[in-house]
Structure 1
Amino acid sequence: MTIIARKSGSKRLLGAMTALALCLGLSACSGNSDGGGHSGDTMQGVSASGKPGSKPDISFKTPFKVENQTHQVIQEGNGEVIRDGDRVCTRSLALDAKTGKVINSTWDKSSPECSIVISRKSIPAYYDTFKGLKVNSTVAVGIDESGSGSSQATDSYIMALTFVSRSKNLTRAQGQKVTDLPSDLPRISLDDKGKPSLDLNGYKPKGGLVVQPLIKGEGAKVGEHQSVSANYTGWLASDGKQFDSSWDRGEASDFSLDQVVKGWQQGLAGQTVGSQVLLVIPPDLGYGSQQQQKIPANSTLIFVVDILAAY
């Protein structure tokens, strides 16, 4: 999903304290059990106490030797069962593996982190463990950044993730189709799965940002600084040539509206989850005079975006 990013950069788990960062690089990891404990456990020696779903007290013998991305279910939940395809929201604690001291917490934030989707493709190392847990379960995950060039004072720690809710992700826009579309806009058609195709319809950009809902979803409004899960396709307004599509990759993209081009941020903020939105983004709200991969300099861009979740 680099094509819509305003700027690139690696995410640091400790600094960002997001579960999305936890999932980086998992394609090279194995989620198989080594025996003992909960099915899928690859770590032993960490425990939790307290009411399930509340901020847990985490215990382990220090110094704790961390193996990167090993994990252990340390508290069974009492809520709904987490199933394949669910989006889960978590609260987390990070504890120094050497001292056991809490070095960061999301329990005091106003909203949980909701970037994890339960699928074998997105979280291969954790899929077998996370799927089938109940909401309010807590899982300890080992993080070792000592070999990654980390400049953090602490580069080896335990992340305790508590699953506080689950919801079923949309796979395409759902809602009321908009029928009174301006006749001079590009025409959009959808295949059976929902992927859009573009007919320029003789469209000539007029220089400003165009935001036109095609389907109005019934979900919550997207906040200006929220993260969004979306399926999208992008074309050049000059010739209608497609330059990017999450549909072709077979997986929705997650991104913060603070980290994308201004046309995306301005166009998606205030829309509702479940909506499909046509965006025409002028160069000054896109990439301006800088060429980006398949996008020439000073290009006006056309996107159709299905908003699947916001968090």
Structure 2
Amino acid sequence: MNRALRRAAPVALAASAALLLAGCAGAEPEATPTPTADAATCLEPTSGAQSDAVTVDGEFGEVPTVAFATPLAAEGLQTSVLIEGDGGKTEPGDVANVVISMFNGTTGVQLVSQPATLGMGDETLLESFRAAIDCQPYGTRTVTVAPPESLYGDQGNESIGVAAGESVVIVADIVSEYVEPEPTPLPTPSEWTENVPEVTYDADGVPTVTIPDAAPSTELQLKVLEEGDGAEVQSGDQVTVHYQGVNWDTKEVFDESFTGGQPATFGTDQVIQGFGAALVGQKVGTKLIVTIPPELGYGTEESSNGLGGHTLVFYVEIVDTASA
């Protein structure tokens, strides 16, 4: 599942940060790393002939243009510094805003290019990404030639176009220090009474949400289908839910947790506003359905995940909640 409900998770980086994590390319990362004094020491990668031969053009912090001889089979992990930043030097445990761009070593095709928020010395990151960013000064651009063993190994990552055993070229712009934003107060949903979709269940309890042939609501509205009797969700809680997201306009499911059988956990302030607002004040065990207008979802303009400008409907089952 693409976890499309995350506030900063365009589908392109199924890549969300999951592609950067060691051990499981499909793992769901924290939305934002937390600075910690327990972070490991930073990697100190060395440059090599292959990383030195990669040319990178384009404005710092923007999508770069990269050129190198293909096919490229990396001879070890190599990182070259293309721009030496003059900002403050980062330390283990610091969190930075980074632009990560990835290119297939065999074809030279761009795989991914988008912002990420990453921790220095974070041992949960794949070695190749640590080599690209660890303890570099803000304002630095690096290029890393990553062999399979430092990235996706013999499995590759078909979701972004990396075959088994392929090398990858990574360009990393370490833009600035990450500053935790002030939380935005969540709106309060009104009761949903008209044109509420029908929810049915199969033998395994997997829901089907049937969108009516009617115009969507322009307001954030919620209907409790079954009220739970557990703890009440507070703003900022880490909430565990099963959910299914449906695009009102296309009537298609765009994200859900039921197929894999495992619920998702995230903070009420780490998801789109309408979804977080639907959780706060509800009790564990509650089943609900909420309609979210574009301005409380992914905005009124077209977005990279295809959900901008659309009214979204989520069916939600609240499994657990815990204070952050």
TM-score (norm 2): 0.45
Please report the TM-score for the alignment, with normalisation by the length of structure 1.
0.47
